[in-house]
Amino acid sequence: MGKVTVIKIGGNVIDNPEALKRFLGSFAQLPDDNVLIHGGGKVATQVAEKLGVQTTMVDGRRITDRPMLDVVTMVYGGLVNKQIVAQLQALGTNAIGLTGADGGTVLAHKRPVKEIDYGFVGDIEEVNSGQLQAFIRQDLTPVYAPLTYDREGNILNTNADTMASAIAVDLAAHNEVTLVYCFEKKGVLSNPDDDQSVIAELTPSVYAEYKASGAINKGMIPKLDNAFRALDKGVSKVIICHADELALAVASGAGTTLTQSV
Amino acid sequence: MGKVTVIKIGGNVIDNPEALKRFLGSFAQLPDDNVLIHGGGKVATQVAEKLGVQTTMVDGRRITDRPMLDVVTMVYGGLVNKQIVAQLQALGTNAIGLTGADGGTVLAHKRPVKEIDYGFVGDIEEVNSGQLQAFIRQDLTPVYAPLTYDREGNILNTNADTMASAIAVDLAAHNEVTLVYCFEKKGVLSNPDDDQSVIAELTPSVYAEYKASGAINKGMIPKLDNAFRALDKGVSKVIICHADELALAVASGAGTTLTQSV
């Protein structure tokens, strides 16, 4: 059973060239096989604005109409993805930039319309982990843009956290998988106002206590629920850490480590 | 020795959604293993305009400064490439969209500045045909945007005709390779004013005669010189045909077929 680390890097790092460079430097030094999933960042909104494409947000989520789909396909699948691939190649990592359409590796369906029509947004159905493993066996490092494929000719915009989790779960059937969410805090905080109050380990029962006390706040809850679901489905370990502490987090557990039990 | 067909499709087809759909329909039906290289089309110029990025052309060639490099990376590597991949996937072709940076497959250097500084334009040094063949053996169909990689972290804008020819030549070391240039005419014409005057076969000596008589015009000469060089370097056959006649051209020689000798 091989070890694979699936790492998600958020938009705030993508937006900061220096932070991205530091992050990619650590990523390139990691042991084992790795898969990177990157978020979008603000550049899509900026490009959309300049192109005269209106950005509609509902509850903090972007509505992906056809013109916006073209923008995210360009920006996430082209600009951001290929710049990351080129930088990783220069660091000696044999990166390959992908969307879910490439090799049919991440298949999704358009989110059904209920109260809100999110537009061309994909809910993931299936990850072709066989193809992903074939890439990994060839010493390629897959770098995913947060875009999936609907089997009917359409790219779909997809949440990068969800995509990372789906890829990690599928790879977990044949590998020992660590899933790492890199973001702008040092980990999950017990006191949202104190950046040093990092919770080192979270199990479902400890998480339940923090939720009950209100210490873990609204924004973290979907991320953590999603992370615990990945553990339920076979991922060995989930780490939530600062992008600058990736190497440390993978090596010795900086940030917050989520496990099924201590 | 496997048979591989390397096909270049130009910007005029990319710009016309109906023509592109027809072309991809034929492409998906081709026998053997195939590699597609697509041009850019006018959409890069349109996007650049809307983004306030000035397009500078010298002798019909785009100067690729840093903002324009970002635009072509977005448009060629993202929008156009991923839309083609998604459409091919829907047609049952397991396409994978690539630039030369992905898997380090097409390496280039920035064109040296002589009279003109073309900016971030790549002259190809090396194709990693081993990696390309590994993709093909996995039944993946590589779809290349006209972008290469400089080994130092930069994407480079590259002529799609040249890229198709370089890929064909490298694959020819281990495969029987046909190189197909699809464009807006039915083939090489003996009379530029008569679209039906297609020259069925061109050998170097026949080509020399047409050049001497002036029948083969200025724009075709670099394309044909390039094509004959590919034959010199091991490509078995070069076909120049209309995008709508791809299937016919590959099966039975519609368009113009270039060979070393009849």
Per-residue pLDDT for A92 more than 90? yes
Please give the pLDDT value at position B99.
98
- List Cα–Cα distances, A84 to A239, B68, B144, in angstroms: 22, 18, 18
Residues of chain B contacting residue A51, judged by C-beta atoms under 8 Å apart: 47, 50-51
| Structure token digits, residue A170 | 């599928």
Q: Any idea of the CA torsion for A149, A155, A161, A162, to the nearest 10 degrees? A: -40
Query: What value does the mean pLDDT take over residues B61-78?
Result: 93
Q: What is the 3-state secondary structure (H, E, C) of chain A?
A: CEEEEEEEECHHHHCCHHHHHHHHHHHHHCCCEEEEEECCCCHHHHHHHHHCCCCEEECCEEEECHHHHHHHHHHHHHHHHHHHHHHHHHCCCCEEEECCCHHHCEEEEECCCCCCCCECEEEEEEECHHHHHHHHHCCCEEEECCEEECCCCCEEECCHHHHHHHHHHHHCCCEEEEEEEEECCCCCECCCCCCCCECCEECHHHHHHHHHHCCCCCCHHHHHHHHHHHHHCCCCEEEEEEHHHHHHHHHHCCCEEECCCC
Please give the pLDDT value at position A115.
87
Minimal Cα–Cα distance from A111 to chain B, Å? 18
Per-residue pLDDT for A214 more than 90? no
Contact A78 B83 (CB under 8 A): no
Query: What value does the mean pLDDT take over residues A151-160?
Result: 96
Contact B82 A104 (CB under 8 A): no
Does residue B94 sit at the A interface (CB-CB below 8 Å)?
yes
Confirm whether residue B157 is marked as ligand binding. Answer: yes
Please give the pLDDT value at position A23.
97
Per-residue pLDDT for A244 more than 60? yes
Confirm whether residue B40 is marked as ligand binding. Answer: yes
Mutate to test the interface with B, among A85, A126, A132, A151 (most CBs of B within 10 A): A85
Please give the pLDDT value at position A218.
78
Contact A86 B131 (CB under 8 A): no
Does residue A28 sit at the B interface (CB-CB below 8 Å)?
no
Please give the pLDDT value at position B115.
87
Does residue A43 sit at the B interface (CB-CB below 8 Å)?
no
Please give the pLDDT value at position B15.
92
Does residue A47 sit at the B interface (CB-CB below 8 Å)?
yes
Query: What value does the mean pLDDT take over residues A223-229?
Result: 92
| Structure token digits, residue B192 | 């530029």
**What domains appear along chain A, each with residue ranges and CATH number?**
2-185+237-254 (3.40.1160.10)
Contact A78 B81 (CB under 8 A): yes
Query: What value does the mean pLDDT take over residues A28-48?
Result: 93
Query: What value does the mean pLDDT take over residues B111-138?
Result: 94
β-pairing verdict for A122-127 and A95-98: unpaired
Give the position of tokens 């960042």. A41
Q: For residue B152, how far is the Cα from the chain centroid?
A: 24
Per-residue pLDDT for B239 more than 70? yes
Query: What value does the mean pLDDT take over residues A51-63?
Result: 83
Minimal Cα–Cα distance from B225 to chain A, Å? 31
Backbone angles phi, psi at A258, to 5 degrees: -100, 130
Mean pLDDT of all residues belonging to chain B: 93
Does residue A151 sit at the B interface (CB-CB below 8 Å)?
yes
Per-residue pLDDT for B217 more than 80? no
Restricting to B residues 177-236, those with a Cβ less than 8 Å away from any Cβ of A are: none
Q: Which of A47, A75, A103 sits opposite B96 (nearest CB)?
A: A103
Q: Which of B51, B103, B134 sits opposite A51 (nearest CB)?
A: B51
Distance separating alpha carbons of residues B132 and B103, to the nearest angstrom: 9
Please give the pLDDT value at position A11.
84
Q: What ipTM describes this predicted complex?
A: 0.95
Backbone angles phi, psi at A62, to 5 degrees: -75, 135
Q: Any idea of the CA torsion for A70, A71, A75, A76, to the nearest 10 degrees? A: -60
Looking at chain B, the whole-number percentage of residues with pLDDT higher than 90 is 80
Minimal Cα–Cα distance from A95 to chain B, Å? 6
Query: What value does the mean pLDDT take over residues B26-37?
Result: 96
Residues of chain A contacting residue B106, judged by C-beta atoms under 8 Å apart: none
Query: What value does the mean pLDDT take over residues A175-180?
Result: 96
Per-residue pLDDT for A55 more than 90? no
Per-residue pLDDT for B55 more than 90? no
Backbone angles phi, psi at A54, to 5 degrees: -80, 135
Per-residue pLDDT for A203 more than 90? yes
Query: What value does the mean pLDDT take over residues B113-140?
Result: 94
Please give the pLDDT value at position B192.
83
Please give the pLDDT value at position B262.
57
Contact B94 A85 (CB under 8 A): no
Query: What value does the mean pLDDT take over residues A56-67?
Result: 84
Q: For residue A223, how far is the Cα from the chain centroid?
A: 11
Please give the pLDDT value at position A210.
92
